Amino acid sequence: MQIPDKIPEAVVFTYEAMNTTFSMRFPGMEQNAASGLARECYEILDRLEALLSRFVADSDVSRINAMEAGQTLHITEETHACLLVALRAYEQTGGLFDVTLGSSIEHLKSQAEGEAPAVRGRLMVHPDVAAVTCEEPGRMIDLGGIGKGFALDRMKHMLAEWDAPEFMLTAGASSMLAHGALVWPVDLAGTTERTKIGLQNAALSASGTIIQGSHIVHPAGPEAMPESPCEHVWVTAETAALAEVWSTALMLLPADEITDFLQPDDGLLSVHADCAGGMRKLWG
């Protein structure tokens, strides 16, 4: 793949949602047509934020987090689909990616003193019905990055249905999704080195101690955090949600164990990492 020096000229729109800035780039498209597509994207983002954010009082996620033992809650198709992606991610990563650690994440974000609260409780996501049952209370869902990746995937699906030929979608500085034949140059900036890759019909997510800092929580507790994790991890995948999952999960592994941990059916296209030995391509 030949990587261009500059990103393509495009009509650009930005929108604040999910505690970050989303952008939509439409190269080669007339302003009015692009504006109409951008408005459709805004509607998707507003709806998903209202459903998936644990900071919105009546969102699906907030209502799940408030459930008592034995309760079953019927939820929207969008929330159900996102939770099924998260459940599959939990299985694929051997439990490293867990969206029910909201209380531990909040403890770290707030820099509260003492140990994080013990993880307890059990939720069941029904596979064939848009519903969740609380078997034991205590789990707090925080969709975080996978929610943003899921939003990018939903926007892509809508834009593809509207026959938008080329576009680049981003959520903040660490998540992007390219669609179409164009190759978009992306700089991967490590601590002391950098490299450039081309993104084409794929998604990319980045995680790192600088990008996420204390937001990264190990399901087994702080004592399980590796002594020598990578400083940064970049993952490309077919979907933005999957890229988000793995860029987070791989930060919880020692650098020298990442390659052996991955499997061909994990759905990853490439993995780059900034580790003690410098920038390395570990997969793809």
Q: Is residue 154 part of a domain?
A: no
**Boundaries of domain holding 174:** 11-27+165-283
Whether 217 is in a domain gets the answer: yes
Query: What whole-number distance in Å separates Cα of residue 269 and Cα of residue 170?
Result: 18
Alpha helix positions (H), 110-239 = 144-161
Q: How many residues are recorded in the chain?
A: 284
> Would 104 be classed as within a structural domain?
no
CATH number, domain of 227, equals 3.10.520.10
Is residue 264 one of the residues assigned to a domain?
yes
3-class DSSP state of 122: strand
* Domain contains 153: no
User: Does residue 239 fall inside a structural domain?
Assistant: yes
Q: How many domains, the chain?
A: 1
* DSSP secondary structure of 44-102: HHHHHHHHH-TTSTTSHHHHHHT--TT-EEE--HHHHHHHHHHHHHHHHTTTS--TTBH
> How would you write the pLDDT of the chain (284 residues) with one tens digit per residue?
899 999 999 999 999 999 999 999 999 999 999 999 999 999 999 999 999 999 999 999 999 999 999 999 999 999 999 999 999 999 999 999 999 986 555 544 545 566 666 678 999 999 999 999 999 999 999 998 899 999 999 999 999 999 999 999 999 999 999 999 999 999 999 988 999 999 999 999 999 875 544 467 777 776 677 777 889 999 999 999 999 999 999 999 988 899 999 999 999 999 999 988 789 999 99
Whether residue 68 is contained in a domain is answered as no
> Residue 102: its pLDDT value, please?
60
Does this model's pTM top 0.85? My answer is yes
* Residue 211 domain flag: yes
